[in-house]
A and B are shown apart, each in its own frame.
Chain A
Amino acid sequence: MTNLFEYAPAPESRSIVDIAPSYGLFIDGEFVDGHGEPFKSVNPATEEVLTEVAAADEADVDRAVAAARRAYTRVWGPMRPADRGKYLFRIARLLQERAREFAVLESLDNGKPIRESRDVDVPLAAAHFFYHAGWADKLDHAGLGPNPRALGVVGQVIPWNFPLLMLAWKVAPALATGNTVVLKPAETTPLTALLFAEICRQADLPPGVVNIVTGAGDTGRAVVEHDDVDKVAFTGSTEVGKSIARAVAGTRKKVTLELGGKAANIVFDDAPIDQAVEGIVQGIFFNQGHVCCAGSRLLVQENIHDEVIASLQRRIGTLRVGDPLDKNTDIGAINSAEQLARIRELSDAGEAEGAQRWQPECVLPDRGFWFPPTVFTDVSPAHRIAREEVFGPVLSVLTFRTPEEAVAKANNTTYGLSAGIWSEKGSRILKIANQLRAGVVWANTFNKFDPTSPFGGYKQSGYGREGGRHGLAAYLKGGSH
């Protein structure tokens, strides 16, 4: 298809961010040296080294937990709840003030389009702090039983797909409920968390309330397994989630896990096709498909399959893949070489197992990690691309004839994080929504998030909820939940 719309490049300036040549750990309100092997953070769109970041070893994690314990016992725990709330309000406002800086830094470090970091990640992160700030002095009214109390020190490990937003999902409820935090950002995307440390200082947050320990899996393990951690919150792969559940077995630690997904996005033959196609695109190509709740399995009713696929391919042909800082970009860079290899491997398996691969004509940059938007048709439920989480811009298309078959296929997965339904018939939407074993169901929309709306999975997509009144329960004891 010829390119109907030529766009001149419209890059967002990166001059707003000031990346230091190296970063330390943020412990007890100070940046300090780490004692693990420092690592480099790379811009995945160019493979340019952005900075060198300290890695926390066990002793560093121990210092961070000790700082968090002191802050919990002496300052944050005894503090008037309304004052805790005010700190969170401050953080929300500071995030808004420095929103553009965070957005540019996120796109540089993660590879996601500036349009998304600017319009989704950063505003939602600020909204999470603003929402939870208001809870701090209202926990008795949260319907979680009488006299809910903080757990203490919380260890949190977050992924690389929404670095700042996942930080907000973790830190905001933990602090609002009176806990202190040791957070480990993902190895490939530590920079916005380190900039957040600066926000904590600008907010005059007491030292030790938030501690940020960068590093790889070993650092995360040290956080999870530390004896003085009262609660572990993790977002990431199901495989690592299981190892965390094993690690905390037999301890007092409370755990919440937000893990992988393989969401079905079900399109019925009465759906508004154009809207559904937009939703399919939003469902799988948002954030390069690096989304645990991505609509990666399209279940389309057989009689409209050809029409939907034709329309979908036409639409995908207009997506622009490239420079994440370009305001016109729809699909940015794959976050890392490792992830790119995983996407390639699974896509090749899709073809080898007999599915048909389709990709638009699309010129990819010479450097960096890129994968074009990809649609597989003729996918059977047994194919790996129908069962395993690709975590990339790869859509697997399956068909169904009856609503019963749609539900059976949708639920035929060990995951249960999210699902989509496209239909103009309200009673059908409600019936199907009831039958889907998934924690979030988007009907005639997809990939919407809000701090007031609980998010989390069924089955092997994890347990516990983030957001809303439900999310508070994960950080409190003494109530009846």
Chain B
Amino acid sequence: MSDRLAVLKTYKLYVNGAFPRSESGRTYEVTDTRGHFLANAAWASRKDARDAVVAARGAFAKWSGATAYNRGQVLYRVAEVMEGRHAQFCDEVAAGEGLSSGKARAAVDAAIDRWVWYAGWTDKLAAVLGGANPVAGPYFDFSMPEPTGVVAVLAPQESSLLGLVSVLAPVLAGGNTAVVVTSKARPLPAVTLGEVLATSDVPAGVVNLLTGDSAELGPWLAEHADVDGIDLTGAPPKRVMEFERSAAGTVKRVVRPEAVEPDWTADPGLARMTPFLETKTVWHPIGV
């Protein structure tokens, strides 16, 4: 063991491609499952959430307008860069979730592979979900999926990395931008993921990560008029109905949480992409 004193990391928010502290100046103590101090995390406020929505809206045109091939390469790049930080993620997941090193490694492996899986979807969605419609008339008529817009994601409380990636990557693959509230008690892998995203050619603002309390930020995101959809997976169970009601005020697309956090290692299918995809249908006459 070297006697060098380690340089500790300041865990901050990730908003619009930068790493600000909470504007509120608040932090909260993050511990491992046995109660030992790990770090002070930024405690995001309502204002931070609003700033994140502004950043996500600003990033939407570029991200949704990128070619599907380009989006796929960027998401694949996230996996590449994560691989280089594998050990760090393993340490953070093991400490935060109380997992053995073997189980933590499996969770990190699966999280990286999940980016690869979704990276491969970007340029297949239109073929799988869209198509030509044989209307009864002289028209060329086709349908294609398009991203819903800015999606708020209340990330799972238990699975701090695999769960987070499993709810975030599908939102991005479809071309949406995201405002994520991370696991409150286990936020550290999310902050490290932000550092990965910042160095993976993901344009600033496409992903915004807020460490803090979904019970506090959820209401503002659910009612925010510039948020188009919300995934309530990490919402406090007793607040889900309230959040869904707020979301109704602007006809948001809502993903309801399951009664217990799902097994994130299962094959995800399309079920987390389609809720945040719109179908656009275009008609044009055929004639000479």
B102-145: CB near A (< 8 Å → 1, else 0) gives 00000000000000000000000000110101111101010100
A470 to B145, CA, bound (A): 11
Q: Is the CB of A238 within 8 A of B251?
A: yes
Total interface residues in chain A, CB < 8 Å: 44
Q: Which residue from B244, B274, B285 sits with its C-beta under 8 Å from A249?
A: B244
Q: Which residue from B141, B241, B270 sits with its C-beta under 8 Å from A481?
A: B270
Q: Is the CB of A429 within 8 A of B284?
A: yes
Q: Is the CB of A249 within 8 A of B245?
A: yes
Tell me whether B84 is interfacial, beta carbon within 8 Å: no
Say how far B137's CB is from chain A's closest CB, in angstroms: 7
Q: Which residue from A257, A429, A452 sits with its C-beta under 8 Å from B133?
A: A452
- Nearest residue (CB) in A for B132 is A452
A481 to B135, CA, bound (A): 24
A387 to B57, CA, bound (A): 22
A204 to B116, CA, bound (A): 53
Stretch at the interface among B1-9, B18-26, B210-218, B275-283: B275-283
CB contacts (< 8 Å) of B134 on chain A: these are 452
A140 to B93, CA, bound (A): 40
Q: Is the CB of B251 within 8 A of A257?
A: yes
Contact A469 to B281, CB < 8 A, known contacts A259-B251, A463-B253: no
What size tier do the contact residues of chain B reach? 35 or more
Tell me whether B250 is interfacial, beta carbon within 8 Å: yes
- Nearest residue (CB) in B for A252 is B256
- Nearest residue (CB) in B for A455 is B281
Tell me whether A460 is interfacial, beta carbon within 8 Å: yes
CB contacts (< 8 Å) of B244 on chain A: these are 245, 249-250
CB contacts (< 8 Å) of A143 on chain B: these are 128-129
Chain B, interface SS category: mixed
21 contacts between A and B (CB under 8 A): A143-B129, A242-B249, A245-B248, A246-B248, A250-B240, A439-B278, A443-B284, A444-B285, A448-B135, A448-B139, A450-B141, A452-B133, A454-B281, A455-B281, A458-B280, A460-B250, A463-B251, A469-B131, A473-B274, A480-B269, A481-B271
Q: Is the CB of A245 within 8 A of B251?
A: yes
A473 to B279, CA, bound (A): 12
Q: Is the CB of B251 within 8 A of A241?
A: yes
A333 to B155, CA, bound (A): 52
Tell me whether A84 is interfacial, beta carbon within 8 Å: no
CB contacts (< 8 Å) of A453 on chain B: these are 133, 135, 141, 143, 281, 283
Q: Is the CB of B283 within 8 A of A454?
A: no
Chain A, interface SS category: mixed
Residues in B lying within 8 Å of A, measured CB to CB: 128-129, 131, 133-137, 139, 141, 143, 148, 228, 240-242, 244-245, 247-251, 253, 269-271, 274, 278-285
Say how far A312's CB is from chain B's closest CB, in angstroms: 20
Tell me whether A127 is interfacial, beta carbon within 8 Å: yes
A317-334: CB near B (< 8 Å → 1, else 0) gives 000000000000000000
Contact A481 to B274, CB < 8 A, known contacts A445-B285, A452-B135, A468-B143: yes
CB contacts (< 8 Å) of A145 on chain B: these are 269-270
Q: Which residue from B136, B253, B285 sits with its C-beta under 8 Å from A127?
A: B136
CB contacts (< 8 Å) of B278 on chain A: these are 439, 458
Q: Is the CB of B135 within 8 A of A459?
A: no
CB contacts (< 8 Å) of B136 on chain A: these are 127, 450, 452
Q: Tell me the chain A residues, 438-478 only, with Cβ under 8 Å from chain B.
A: 438-445, 448, 450, 452-456, 458-463, 465, 468-470, 473
A433 to B284, CA, bound (A): 11
CB contacts (< 8 Å) of A454 on chain B: these are 133, 143, 279, 281
Say how far B187's CB is from chain A's closest CB, in angstroms: 27
Say how far B56's CB is from chain A's closest CB, in angstroms: 16
Say how far A234's CB is from chain B's closest CB, in angstroms: 12
CB contacts (< 8 Å) of A238 on chain B: these are 251
Q: Which residue from B128, B139, B248, B284 sits with its C-beta under 8 Å from A242?
A: B248
- Nearest residue (CB) in B for A436 is B280
A438 to B135, CA, bound (A): 20
A143 to B127, CA, bound (A): 11
